[in-house]
Structure 1
Amino acid sequence: MTESCFDPLIHAHNRLQICALLENIAEMEFSLVKTQLEVSDSVLSKHVKALEQAGYLRVNKRTSFARQRTWLSLTVQGEAAYRGHVAALRKIVGL
């Protein structure tokens, strides 16, 4: 069972969505996350940086077809923090 712990860093709307998108997959390309969240590059970059600095997100830049692409994935710490945050939210709303 995941320990419930409200995390104000993850609670920000866009950061919560980023974690939700990445929870059950190995990684997702930055541009796809941007499309899913319907935000600009700069808005997504700001949230990615905050999650990365907290150790919740891994950023991997790779070159593909002569173009650099950025891939995002949750770290083990990030997955645990996200699941704990969701458990805390469920507790708050009585689920």
Structure 2
Amino acid sequence: MTAENGTPDPHEPPVHPVTGLDEVVHQRVRLGILAIAHEARRVEFGYLRTQLDLTAGNLSKHLSVLETAGLVEIEKGYAGRRGRTWITLTAAGAAALAEEIERLKLLITRLETTDTPEDR
């Protein structure tokens, strides 16, 4: 917690930035899915599979976790005669990705300003 003036409350232990990392978002593959989906309006399943070097089954499981959490929408359809699956980042997904990135930035800043054992 912070005092009214925005400074940390000296009576409360500091919270480490890793405590705010989201287990659903932070997993390497799911973070990759969200990042790629953020870069595009809509991304095709095969593109994600190739970019993240995954099997179709593995990617499907991760997409299911993200869809259940409301972070992506999955749309199935056809391009010509071929079945296609498209993934779109939801507003909640964009917010969760932004929060994860902020937490990682806090962690990086903290580590960059910490002495290494060699400096002590």
* Bigger RCO of structures 1 and 2 (CA < 8 A, at least 6 apart): 1
Moved segments of 4+, more than 6 Å: none
Q: Which of 81, 92, 114 is matched with 1:77 structurally?
A: 92
Q: Which consecutive unaligned segments of at least 5 residues does structure 1 have?
A: none
User: Is it true that 1:21 corresponds to 2:36 in the alignment?
Assistant: yes
Distance in 2, Cα, partners of 1:28 & 1:7: 23
Q: 1:25 deviation in Å?
A: 1.5
What amino acid is the match of 1:13?
R
User: For the pair shown, which has the larger CA radius of gyration, 1 or 2?
Assistant: 2
Q: 1:24 deviation in Å?
A: 2.6
Q: Which consecutive unaligned segments of at least 5 residues does structure 2 have?
A: 1-16, 111-120
Q: 1:6 deviation in Å?
A: 2.1
Task: String of CA shifts for 1:47-87, please: whole Å, max 9, x gaps.
Answer: 00000000001000111111110000110000000110011
Distance in 2, Cα, partners of 1:8 & 1:86: 13
Q: 1:26 deviation in Å?
A: 0.8
TM-score of the aligned structures, taking structure 2 as reference length? 0.73
Q: What is the aligned-residue RMSD (CA, Å)? A: 1.4
Aligned pair count reads 92
What amino acid is the match of 1:51?
L
